[in-house]
Structure formats: C-alpha cells, structure tokens
Structure 1
Amino acid sequence: MTMTNTAPAPTVWATLQANDAPALIDFLVNTFGFIKTAAYADGDQVAHAQLDWPEGGGIMLGSYKPDQEWSRRPGTAGMYVVTADPDALYAKVRAAGADIFRPITDQDYGNREFGVRDPEGNLWSFGHYRGEPHP
C-alpha cells in the first residue's frame, strides 16, 4: 500500500540566525529530531539551511551577518513546536543533557509541554496543542 501526505506544504517558516550555525544545526537535528533537508555553506558560514520537523513544518536558518538587511540577533527567538508525544521527546531531550528551563507540565488550557534553551539562547517549547481550529 502506498501512503501519501495530503497536507499542504508549509507556507510560513520561522527563521533563525546563529553565531555557530553548523553547531546549532547539529543540536537541533541530534537533540530535538529535526531533519536537515538542505544546507548551503562555505566552510563554517551557512548561507541557508532548511530543517524540517518530522510532524510538519520546519525552520530556516543561517549564519549571523549583522551588516545585512535581513539580520536577526542570535539567541532572541522563541519557538513553539507541536509533537504528538511530548513525554517521549522530553525524555530524549533530557537524556541529551539539553538546558531544560521548564520541565514537562500539564497546562491549565490542556497542553502538555516543556521548554528548552538551545546553545544560541533561543527558547523552544514543545507540546501536543495544535492551536484552535479555523472558525
């Protein structure tokens, strides 16, 4: 049996810049489970990378270049990522020794989530809440 994904391709992408983009890519892939779909680099300078989240969506990132128009200071982003099994991901992230700033907790609004700081200082929250349905 052939299975196809009928969900539309993501049309909104969060973007990050990093002081050490190759290290951040490795961290996001090895610790959280992102998939490195593309990376265009010249040595340790990453012009563009695409990391897909296995459950849908993803991020784009590159090396910090403060002299360019599209420049964001590293370590200032906050991301929320949906996962069907936050407990399993929490165990994986904890085993990797990541900087967990908020342990896994049930929220009043029904989400089960936890928070992690990446090596650049960005904040990541993972939970099963997928947002409210369209009206």
Structure 2
Amino acid sequence: MTDLTPPPTVWPSLRATDARALIRFLVDVVGFEETAVYGDDHTVRHCQLSWPLGGGVMLGSAGNRGADDKWALRPGSFGCYVVADDIDDIHARVTAAGAQIIEEPHRTDYGSYGFAILDPEGNRWSFGTYRGEPRKP
C-alpha cells in the first residue's frame, strides 16, 4: 500500500447453503480470520471474515431473512480476488483440502503470481500478488 492507496472499505458479500461449513473452509483452509458470526446452530445471520492483509468478506445463510429478503444472493454465484503474499502456501492448503483448482499457479503479464479455486459452494476465488495500481495524485 502506498500513501495514495486508502485502506480497504469495500466488503464483498455472499450467501451460502451451508454457511457454517463455508466459514470453516475459509478460516481453517484459506486463512481468513473469523471476526464476527451472528446466528444460531443452523443459520448464520451475519459473518465477517477478515483477511490478514486488509479487508475481508461478509456472508450469511441463504434465505436467512425470509421471503422479503432484499439481499437474496444465490449461493455459488460469488467471485472474489484476494491479495496474498503466500500464494504457494495457500495453494498447498486448498489442494490438500480437496478444493477444485480452476487455474493453477501462474505469472501474469501484469506482474501478478496467483491461482484460482472453487470453494465447496461453487464460488470462485482468485488469489494473487497483484495489489492494484496506485491512485493518481
């Protein structure tokens, strides 16, 4: 991050058929930190998972607000890019956990090194070293 790059304030959100299992996968395997989880044994009303380098995602159980849900997202339709330094370590963990690799580790023409997976719900996650371009002054 440079002086011109503000801290993350955009938090993607998703819904899951089995939110508790998705939380465990994202925390125990991928490396997110469980910051807050609200709900009961069966339903997650709100969950914040923080990424160690900044930002994170929010998720909840599909249908957790009933038929009048104004934020009814379809499970498995989410995609997210996550900046990471330890690409090979994350790749080894998700591979050992049986995640479906949809793009093996590779270098891009814009200087990133990364890979992509599908999580147990079918969401797409891309991990890479590209931090984005700094804002212009």
Please give the TM-score of this superposition, normalised by the length of structure 2: 0.88
Structure 2 portions without partners, runs of 5+: none
Q: How many equivalent residue pairs?
A: 129
Q: Which residue of 2 aligns with 1:97?
A: 98
C-alpha RMSD over aligned residues: 1.5
* Greater relative CO (CA pairs within 8 A, separation 6+): 2
Q: Write the distance in 2 (CA, Å) between the matches of 1:64 and 1:92.
A: 27
Instruction: Deviation per CA, 1:46-80: give whole Å up to 9, x if none.
Output: 00000001111100000011721111101001100
How many angstroms does 1:9 deviate by?
5.6
Q: Which residue of 1 aligns with 2:126?
A: 125
Q: Write the distance in 2 (CA, Å) between the matches of 1:38 and 1:8.
A: 23
Please give the TM-score of this superposition, normalised by the length of structure 1: 0.89
Post-superposition, which runs of at least 4 consecutive aligned residues in structure 1 deviate over 4 A? none
Instruction: Deviation per CA, 1:60-110: give whole Å up to 9, x if none.
Output: 000011721111101001100000121222122222221111110111111
Structure 1 portions without partners, runs of 5+: 1-6
How many angstroms does 1:29 deviate by?
0.6
Alignment of 1:34-113 (within 5 A): 34-65=32-63, 67=67, 68-113=69-114
